[in-house]
Structure 1
Amino acid sequence: MAKSFLRTALNNLVEARQRRADLYTTGALLSLDDASLEAMGLKREELRRRPHQHSII
């Protein structure tokens, strides 16, 4: 069965919001110091390779 127009629109909206949230999250994580990132199991080099947008906070 084909998806309805509204279901497709909702899915596209959710995906766009998820991408935006990922951009902001990566930008915010990059503002943390290396010790905090390491405590969370992340590396600054890996985060820099992801697309990011600087947080307004």
Structure 2
Amino acid sequence: MSNSFFRAAYNNLVSARERQVRRYVNGALLNLDDESLKAMGTSREELRRKGATSYVF
């Protein structure tokens, strides 16, 4: 019982951090120019749709 609780808590923590990292990376990618984004196979609209956040450290 407790093992599955800790496993679920750990999996939820990892999922939350993955979403946070994706938003951070999308925010950083939005600083690139349109030609660079096009070369990577993505667009500014797609990054905004996926969610983007910039963090100040």
Q: Unpaired segments of 5 or more residues in structure 2?
A: none
**What TM-score does the superposition give when structure 1 sets the normalisation length?**
0.82
- Indicate the RMSD between aligned Cα atoms, in angstroms: 1.7
Q: Which whole-Å CA distance do the structure 1 matches of 2:45 and 2:38 have between them?
A: 11
Considering fraction of residues, name the structure with more helix. 2
Between the two proteins, the alignment pairs up a number of residues equal to 55
TM-score (ref. length: structure 2) = 0.82
Percent identical residues: 55
* Runs of 4+, deviation exceeding 6 Å: none
**Unaligned stretches of 5+ residues in structure 1:** none
